[in-house]
């Protein structure tokens, strides 16, 4: 496998993707972390920063950034998979607001570390514009702002845009308005994850690549090359988790796919906008997301790829021609200036992790020493940093504002066995697609999508 083929981002790095050495044999450590994506590496980073004497080992089955962390849309956002109203219903208004405020602060924290560690990852804190291109979507934009106000956020956090204001940021076809939040930065995701791996090594963390963990148990991570014994074992494997023994129903791997255009001429950018490199989306149901890259491309993605029976994750699932074609079509609809045949130079995808109750979580079971973080759905770039900081506190036995947040030690129930899981996840996707189609035909909100969201507790 050529790692650079996994995403535009990995293909555009200057440094070669030569794997680090694998685990040489049985090893003792204080903390062993399985998975060298953002979650594993942020955890290692904050642990090593807080206590340089800790012996920390990271085990990665491929290379750092092989998973979603090297392939994502590069939104380092303050989005959290559970909405603010849903958090407030479950945990009360104050704790929900504390969670959201901490997510805002997390975006700044990532920016701070990136600068402090000299990680050159094209960081640009330009915020996010979410467009409304139909009356129904405009209604959703208004509702989002009203909900934010009701739950304690201000205009400075999320503001409603009229048609001219929205188009001034992102001149997509038929824009009627939208919302803007400053709490997001566009990043080059692979530069971030690869830079983090180097940063943790500078702090004495040992990262072993091409070292698959075949079993996790209290006190040990087992690999074909040897066993790492440690009182704390952290699972940071997100969408790949179901392949671990005993974890098949912990999260469902759902695929998100992306395309990138060739660098666009300045004249095209003058029409599209995104001058601050705002990340962008719109208020349809099936999520789409994009960013203007530092080298002038449009990197654009969306959900819609099927969930695969048995929670299987395979390299060929990263490529779904039907979804790539749909992404190109949507890109062309949004920006007719790209011409009838949008020129796409790269297409790729990867698995993200979805818990049964759609709630991300981070935690440590003190009785076993087993720790975990994940279930971020599509919001892991920022959230994994908060997970890493929180795990560092939990593992070191510190009680802090972070360890008091409502997602800490939350446990989702497990997914249903197959074939129910396959039916449920794919039915959900279908409902959202048909809701978008029906809305654009009838210009009124879909009741089925609303019912489905209510069912999920969104």
Ligand X SMILES: Cc1cc2nc3c(=O)[nH]c(=O)nc-3n(C[C@H](O)[C@H](O)[C@H](O)COP(=O)(O)OP(=O)(O)OC[C@H]3O[C@@H](n4cnc5c(N)ncnc54)[C@H](O)[C@@H]3O)c2cc1C
Q: How far is the CA of 195 from the CAs of 62, 74, 192, in angstroms?
A: 16, 14, 5
Kindly give, in sequence order, each residue whose CB lies less than 8 Å from that of residue 107, ignoring residues fewer than 6 positions away.
76, 77, 78, 125, 183, 184, 185, 382
Q: Residue 65 Cβ, how far from ligand X at the closest point, in Å?
A: 7
CB of 438 to ligand X, least distance (A): 26
What is the closest distance, in whole angstroms, from the C-beta atom of residue 228 to ligand X in the complex? 11
- Told to check if 22 binds ligand X by CB under 6 A, we report no
Task: Using CB under 6 A, count the residues that bind ligand X.
Answer: 44
CB neighbours of residue 321 within 10 Å: 8
How far apart, in whole angstroms, are the C-alpha atoms of residue 268 and residue 371? Answer: 48
Q: Is 273 in the site for ligand X (CB under 6 A)?
A: no
Burial of 133 (0-12, 13-18, 19+ CB in 10 A): buried
379 lines the binding site for ligand X (CB under 6 A) = yes
Residue 92: CB minimum distance to ligand X, A:
25
Residue 220, SS3 per DSSP: strand
74 part of the interface to ligand X, by CB under 6 A:
yes
**Site for ligand X contains 242 (CB under 6 A):** no
CA distance 41 to 17: 17
Please tell me whether residue 66 binds ligand X under the rule CB under 6 A: yes
Stretch 250-269 residues interacting with ligand X (CB under 6 A)? 256, 258
Nearer to ligand X among residue 243 and residue 424 (C-beta) = 243
Stretch 111-150: interaction string toward ligand X, x if CB under 6 A: ----------------------------------------
Q: Is 75 in the site for ligand X (CB under 6 A)?
A: yes
SS3 content of the chain, % helix, strand, coil (to 5): 40, 20, 40
| SS3 state at 371 | strand
Q: Please identify, using beta-carbon distances, which residue of 62 and 436 lies nearer to ligand X.
A: 62
Asked if 349 touches ligand X (CB under 6 A), the answer is: yes
If the CB atoms of residues 369 and 374 are measured against ligand X, the closer one turns out to be: 374
Burial class (CB in 10 A: 0-12, 13-18, 19+), 20: middle
Binding positions for ligand X, rule: CB under 6 A: 34-40, 59-62, 66-69, 71-75, 77, 212-213, 236-240, 244, 256, 258, 289, 301, 349-350, 352, 374, 376, 378-382, 384
């Amino acid at each position: 496998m050529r790692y650079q083929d996994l995403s535009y981002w990995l293909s555009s790095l200057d440094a070669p993707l030569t794997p680090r050495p694998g685990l040489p044999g049985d090893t003792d450590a204080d903390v062993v972390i399985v998975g060298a994506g953002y979650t594993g590496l942020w955890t290692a980073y904050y642990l090593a920063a807080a206590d340089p004497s800790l012996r920390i080992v990271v085990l990665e089955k491929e290379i750092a950034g092989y998973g979603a962390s090297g392939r994502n849309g590069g939104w380092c956002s303050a989005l959290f998979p559970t909405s603010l109203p849903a958090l407030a219903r479950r945990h009360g208004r104050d704790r929900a607001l504390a969670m959201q405020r901490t997510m805002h602060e997390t975006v700044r924290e990532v920016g701070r570390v990136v600068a402090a560690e000299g990680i050159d990852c094209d960081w640009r804190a330009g915020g996010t514009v979410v467009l409304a291109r139909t009356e129904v979507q405009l209604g959703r934009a208004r509702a989002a702002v009203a909900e934010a106000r009701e739950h304690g956020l201000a205009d400075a956090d999320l503001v409603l845009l009229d048609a001219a204001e929205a188009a001034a940021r992102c001149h997509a076809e038929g824009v009627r308005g939208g919302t803007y939040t400053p709490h997001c930065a566009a990043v080059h995701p692979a530069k971030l994850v690869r830079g983090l791996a180097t940063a943790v090594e500078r702090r004495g963390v040992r990262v072993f690549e091409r070292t698959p963990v075949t079993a996790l148990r209290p006190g040990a991570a087992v690999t074909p090359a040897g066993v790492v014994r440690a009182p704390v074992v952290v699972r940071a494997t997100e969408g790949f988790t179901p392949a671990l023994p005993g974890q098949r129903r912990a999260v469902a791997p759902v695929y998100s796919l992306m395309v990138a255009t060739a660098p666009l001429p300045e004249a095209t950018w003058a029409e599209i906008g995104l001058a601050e490199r705002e990340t962008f989306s719109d208020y349809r149901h099936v999520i789409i997301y994009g960013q203007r890259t530092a080298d002038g491309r449009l990197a654009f993605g969306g959900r819609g790829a099927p969930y695969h029976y048995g929670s299987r994750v395979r390299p060929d699932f990263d490529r779904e021609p039907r979804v790539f074609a749909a992404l190109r079509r949507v890109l062309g609809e949004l920006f007719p200036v790209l011409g009838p045949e949008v020129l796409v130079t790269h297409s790729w995808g990867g698995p993200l992790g979805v818990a049964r109750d759609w709630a991300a979580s981070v935690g440590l079971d003190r009785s076993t020493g087993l720790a975990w973080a994940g279930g971020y759905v599509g919001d892991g770039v920022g959230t994994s940093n908060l997970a890493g900081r929180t795990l560092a506190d939990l593992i070191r036995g510190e009680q802090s504002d972070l360890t008091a947040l409502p997602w800490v030690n939350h446990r989702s129930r497990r997914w249903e066995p197959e074939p129910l899981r396959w039916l449920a996840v794919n039915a959900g996707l279908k409902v959202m697609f048909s809701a978008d189609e029906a809305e654009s035909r009838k210009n009124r909100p879909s009741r089925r999508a609303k019912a489905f969201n209510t069912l999920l507790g969104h």
